A = this chain, B = another copy of it.
Amino acid sequence: MAKKLYHGAAYYPELWDEKTILTDIRLMKETGINVVRIGEFAWSKMEPIEGEIDLTFFRQIISLLNENGIEVIMCTPTATPPIWMSDNHPERMYVDADGRTMIHGSRQHICTNNPYFRKRAAILTNELAKALGDMPGVIGWQLDNEFKCHVAECMCATCKEQWHKWLEHRYHNVEQLNDAWGTDIWSEYYHHFEQVPQPGPVPFLHNSSLKTMYQLFSTEAIAEFAEEQAAIIREHSQLPITHNSTIMFAVDNERLFQNLDFASFDTYAPAASYFSYLFNCDLWRNLKKGKDFWIMETSPSYSASLESYATPHPKGYLKAEAVASYALGGAGFCYWLWRQQRAGCEQPHGSVISAWGKPTVGYEEVLETEKARIAIEPFITSTRPLQAEVAITYSDRAKIFLNTEPHKGLHYKELITDIYKHTLAAGIHRDLLPEGAELSGYKLLLTPFVPYLSDDYINRAKAFVEQGGVWIVGPMTGGRTEHHTIHTDAALGKLEELAGMETAFTFPIENTGSVGEAYGLTARLGLWSAVFDGKDAKVIGTIKGGLVCGKAFLTEKQLGKGKLVMLGSLPTGEEGSKMLTEMIHTYAREAGVLADIKATEGTIVAPREQDGRKYWIVVNMDGKGGSVTVPQAVRDCITQENIPAGEWKLGKYDYRVLQSI
């Protein structure tokens, strides 16, 4: 891909006539759209009749776009198999947890593990790669579309068979499975892998191990499908391959992107949830470390379907989003979609151009975004985002554990977002890291809400601490084994020895009258908690009242040059929020985390660098404006003026590109 900032849109030329396509291309150029994503759902256009593949249309479109200076991300259309695949073939269809077999007419109706689907997908993708893989103007590939966005774990017969093989691969013999899962409970005991059920209808709950493993199997299988498809493309095309994912789908993104070339994601967070938007940027930048990420789908104004809609973005927000994403490591900022669908279930969805060819309510925002893109492009393309000093582990496997064991309706995304928001509010540049990410270069690591901590993770975190890092573990971290069972040596397993404390009890502390005291603050404690005896660790937070008065909920232990901090419970309410912020501040300070430039809450500072020179892109995200404090004079790269040290105001959704002098 070129060293430029991409401003793009999803485009479905197969839905429109030639005249409309020509109009669209003209309008795209006017608007500043320099890349489109095509082909996504077009299987029936490419292969209307089984075996009769004709890609002429897409070759022509790509040529036409290329002639007009619009580059292309080419997609495989495997999310929408044609009627010849699905009609009269219930055995190929996705089966949901209630046993309902899907039919044709929407997306993701076929089981992606079905061998016939896989065969046909392979044939088509091979033809696509051959025909289009080296065409001028094509700059990359997107596999499928939003894997598992509408579906989760399939319960079909194919999946059952593969599940048994997966189990055999993981556990080798069934006795190991029985032992690992504790299947003597409730006489669940299995004699053969073939007897292990899928988590279908039962009177009460399934074994936690079975539920968690089935999700792991499913996320592994979809990643394997992606790899199979990527391998086919690579036989014919050198272009980088991605997939448009989110953290809301039933996938393990770390695993999914392992063998893909760059990360991209879709986001439709409304402006009021700008922190979710930033969360994504801070995560996806780190899913393929060192590679720019793409926002493959976002709405120019609002998302909608026949049955719902979001609040349209306020004026100025789209531009702030774009600048923030480019600043935080994005290379592409693409809309869904260019021209509003005239039919189907997404016809009300926001777009750049309406179904009748006119600018939409978001159009002016797109123009403003393009202006900003042009303004910042030189500074973004010539610099790289700086690694943060603070890292928070994000884990889709932790999400799976919490799906299986939600305690009382807990959602991993909400829990981890809450921690993220506290870090954001503390004004600290941060990275959200997959579990397997390198920890070198970080100073502070938070690992909240990860029920199972792998040995590998613990070892790497331990090394990180020994070399001077501060590692905050919890809440709700480490209490489960890899099989989703409970440790039998200590509540938090081997972690306790490392952390020097001992878990006295684990229990649901909320509504028991317990408060936690730390940093001179007092807050109610909540969630399922582990409460500690200090032992060799220093007690930082003590519990008062309730059933465990005098126990600790926050301890720290010096380990090598660093510290291991155990947080056993979640301080809640307004005071709890203050306590979390204070905890983050305290350990950030201790760890030597620096923030050159400070901004008030709602405004972010994205640091970048080039050859040792630092750049900061400052963006107001909350629409309230903010103030920015620079410790010494900096240069405003766009106005080419110097800004003296001190505090100054930033307008609503406004941005600056600053450079160290």
Contacts and interface: CB of A to CB of B under 8 A. Distances in A.
A403 to B, nearest CB: 10
A11 B637 CA distance: 72
Contacts of A205: 106, 305-307, 345
Given A195-B83, A208-B344, A342-B182, A511 B311 contact: yes
A265 interface: no
Contacts of A507: 301-302, 312, 350, 360-361
Nearest to A507: B361
A190 B87 CA distance: 10
A43 interface: yes
A126 interface: no
B345 A15 contact: no
A508 B304 contact: yes
A140 interface: no
Interface string A406-446: 11100000000000000000000000000000000000000
Nearest to A549: B315
A374 interface: no
Given A306-B406, A342-B486, A491-B354, A15 B203 contact: no
A206 B343 contact: no
Given A202-B103, A350-B507, A408 B190 contact: no
A320 to B, nearest CB: 15
A489 to B, nearest CB: 6
Given A83-B189, A186-B80, A203-B106, A345 B306 contact: no
Given A94-B203, A206-B106, A488-B355, A314 B547 contact: yes
A43 to B, nearest CB: 4
A186 B107 contact: yes
Given A507-B312, A508-B309, A102 B186 contact: no
A238 interface: no
A155 to B, nearest CB: 10
Given A107-B204, A344-B182, A404 B306 contact: yes
A48 B343 contact: no
Interface string A472-515: 00000000000101111111000000000000111110111100
A308 B510 CA distance: 13
A385 interface: no
Contacts of A311: 508, 510-512
Interface residues of A, number: 113
A482 to B, nearest CB: 12
Interface in A200-214: 200-210
A246 interface: no
Given A15-B184, A187-B41, A347-B485, A96 B342 contact: no
Given A100-B201, A105-B207, A486 B186 contact: no
A144 B120 CA distance: 51
A157 to B, nearest CB: 13
A7 B404 CA distance: 34
A211 to B, nearest CB: 8
Given A306-B205, A355-B488, A185 B312 contact: no
Contact of A547 (B104, B310, B312): B312
A108 interface: yes
A207 B83 CA distance: 14
A564 to B, nearest CB: 20
A286 interface: no
A649 interface: no
Contact of A15 (B81, B182, B405, B547): B182
A488 B102 CA distance: 32
Contact of A200 (B99, B103, B183, B308): B103
Given A302-B508, A361-B507, A343 B182 contact: yes
Given A44-B189, A491-B356, A108 B203 contact: yes
**Copy number in this complex?**
3
Nearest to A343: B182
A378 interface: no
A294 interface: no
Given A203-B151, A314-B547, A188 B104 contact: yes
A280 interface: no
A191 interface: yes
A534 interface: no
A239 interface: no
A45 interface: yes
- Most B CB atoms within 10 A — which of A100, A344, A345? A344
A507 to B, nearest CB: 5
Interface in A607-654: none
A150 B105 contact: no
Contact of A185 (B15, B189, B309): B15
Contact of A181 (B182, B309, B343, B358): B343
A609 to B, nearest CB: 38
Nearest to A341: B185
A82 interface: yes
Contacts of A306: 205, 208, 404-407
Interface of A: 12, 14-15, 41-45, 48-49, 77, 80-84, 87, 94, 96, 98-109, 150-151, 181-191, 195, 197-210, 301-302, 304-312, 314-315, 340-345, 347-348, 350, 354-358, 360-361, 404-408, 483, 485-491, 504-508, 510-513, 528, 547-548
Given A185-B341, A354-B506, 13 more contacts: A44-B188, A103-B200, A105-B206, A106-B203, A108-B204, A151-B203, A208-B306, A208-B343, A301-B507, A306-B404, A306-B407, A314-B547, A350-B507
17 contacts: A48-B191, A77-B187, A102-B203, A103-B202, A105-B202, A183-B343, A207-B343, A208-B306, A301-B547, A306-B407, A307-B406, A311-B510, A311-B511, A341-B486, A343-B485, A354-B491, A356-B486
For the complex of A and B, 8 pairs with smallest distance between CB atoms: A182-B343, A106-B202, A150-B203, A44-B187, A205-B345, A185-B344, A44-B189, A80-B187
